[in-house]
Amino acid sequence: MCYILYTLHICGHWIPQPTPGNAGNGPVLRICKESETMRLGRPCPDTEHKVANRSQGMCDPCLWKRVKE
Ligand SMILES: [Zn+2]
Ligand SMILES: [Zn+2]
């Protein structure tokens, strides 16, 4: 199944991992092997959401909120 990778922050938010060269374009769907070979690069109808790594810090929106308060 095709998937989107996230970083899980200590504030509990899942933030999609930025893709180099694609900053600001939102989460990037990673095409799985099946889709690549069986569907000619078209993604699966369902998307899996995976935690790729855990961060010891808060996500950017939470950090900014804290700075403002
Ligand atoms: Zn897929
Ligand atoms: Zn957060």
Taking alpha carbons only, the member of 9, 50, 1 closest to residue 27 is 50
What pLDDT does residue 17 have? Answer: 84
24-69: per-residue pLDDT in tens? 666 788 999 999 999 999 999 999 999 999 999 999 999 999 888 7
Ligand lying nearest the CA atom of residue 31: 1
3-25: per-residue pLDDT in tens? 999 999 999 999 998 766 655 66
Burial class (CB in 10 A: 0-12, 13-18, 19+), 13: middle
Ligand lying nearest the CA atom of residue 14: 2
Ligand lying nearest the CA atom of residue 60: 2
The amino acid at residue 57 is G
